[in-house]
Amino acid sequence: MADCDWGKLKENIRGIRENTISARSRTTYQNSHCRFLAWVVQNKSELVSAPFAERLGDTSDCSLHQLRSRVKEKLCPQSSIIPLEFETLTAEDFVTWLVTLTRKDGSGLSYSALNAHRASLFNLYRDYGCTMSKALESELTTYFKGLKHTLAKEASNGTGRTKTGKDPLMFDLYIFLCKKMLLLPGKDMAFSHAYMVIAWNLMCRSSNAFGIRHSHMEWR
């Protein structure tokens, strides 16, 4: 393999490893990483690795938004500089950050949103080639059972959110939108109509409908 392009081969191998999650999930995880790390820098600075703290520089005058932007700029999974002292991080540290998170209306996050942040933490470990300890993983599971019960109790007594997920598209509204699309001029509306009908009939997410190709279809 003397004539092998090792640089290109290495890039392909790295791409295979990064392809474990979708681009959309990676964006979601990156946002979570930045929010968590910015909170750690402000409140648990002893958990920030010395090389990464040096890379961030002086953050004393940064607002939380500015700090998140700087963390995002300096965060690089391909780098040998890890952002956290992963061995020192505890489940209590992570859950403490979780309970500080709120929606724009001031209400707490749903269980699914909290669970997405936990998945993001696992991804942060994976990105930097670190393995989460069994003790930490077990402790996180225990905390999340408690969080789930707490949210369920709040919902039952009327102090928490009872609604989960997104509002469904009502059939009457679906019919109305389809008719309007057929009446409007232009090829874009014809495509939009076909797209909506396919998504509705397959009962799938819009992103899944977007991924349908002609080669996926079979006529019988």
Model confidence at 174: pLDDT above 70:
yes
Residue pair 36/97 in contact by the 8 Å Cβ criterion:
yes
DSSP string, 5-63: -HHHHHHHHHHHHHTTS-HHHHHHHHHHHHHHHHHHHHH-GGGB-HHHHHHH---TT--
Q: Is the pLDDT of residue 162 over 60?
A: no
Q: State the pLDDT confidence band at 104, using cuts at 50, 70 and 90.
A: confident
Q: Are 40 and 84 in contact (CB under 8 A)?
A: yes
* Model confidence band, residue 76 (pLDDT cutoffs 50, 70, 90): confident
Are 48 and 83 spatial neighbours (Cβ–Cβ below 8 Å)? yes
Is 80 exceeded by the pLDDT of residue 192?
A: yes
Range ranked top by mean pLDDT from 5-9, 134-138, 157-161, 195-199? 134-138
Name the average pLDDT for the chain.
88
**Between 160 and 68, where is the model more confident?**
68
The CA radius of gyration of the chain, in Å to the nearest whole number, is 23
DSSP H or E segment with residue 161: none
pTM of the model: 0.74
